[in-house]
Amino acid sequence: MRKLSMDELGRKTPDHFKSAEKIPVTIILDNIRSMMNTGSVFRTADAFLLEAIILCGFTAPPPHREIHKTALGATDSVNWRYVEKTEDAVNQLKSEGYEVIAVEQTTGSQSLQEFHPRSGHKYALVFGNEVKGVGDEVLRLCDRALEIPQFGTKHSLNVSVSAGVVIWDLFSKLHPIS
């Protein structure tokens, strides 16, 4: 066994990434405090060919040193935009036919492992603030909530880790490896 070289990895250039077919998932970041978390979500969105990221509220937009530290250039490949009010971003995506899903622990949340995305359907995943989660006003607008099953004492994951888990789960269900 040996590590693969950069040439063997088949990495896309930012231009090739932009023209590649994307999975129909957009991420909404609702008032994320840490720019390093924001950068990590960009990097995950790049890894799994997501459509876009919408940064809302006080989520900092690129360019910023702290975002670039974890994004490693993904802010150049992933489509993104800033919308001041998360509710406006949610309403716009709903009007475009997206099913908007909060990733949050709620009274009506569905376990991630029980969620089966439909091929050809468009999804928007809302990830909330590191302390307060998805805002209540935003939660009321969402079509459903997904929860990552957890079994320890914290029942809390870092937002960038949660994004990685959920994005991988949806990607693997929409594009099973044979």
Output the pLDDT for position 13. 87
Residue type, position 84, single letter: E
Categorize the per-residue pLDDT at 178 as very low, low, confident or very high, splitting at 50, 70 and 90: low
Output the pLDDT for position 14. 84
Output the pLDDT for position 103. 98
Categorize the per-residue pLDDT at 40 as very low, low, confident or very high, splitting at 50, 70 and 90: very high
User: For 133-176, how does the pLDDT look when each residue is reduced to its tens digit (9 = 90+)?
Assistant: 999 999 999 999 999 999 999 989 999 999 999 999 999 999 87
User: For 77-107, how does the pLDDT look when each residue is reduced to its tens digit (9 = 90+)?
Assistant: 999 999 999 999 999 999 999 999 999 999 9
| Domains of the chain listed by start with CATH number | 20-147+156-174 (3.40.1280.10)
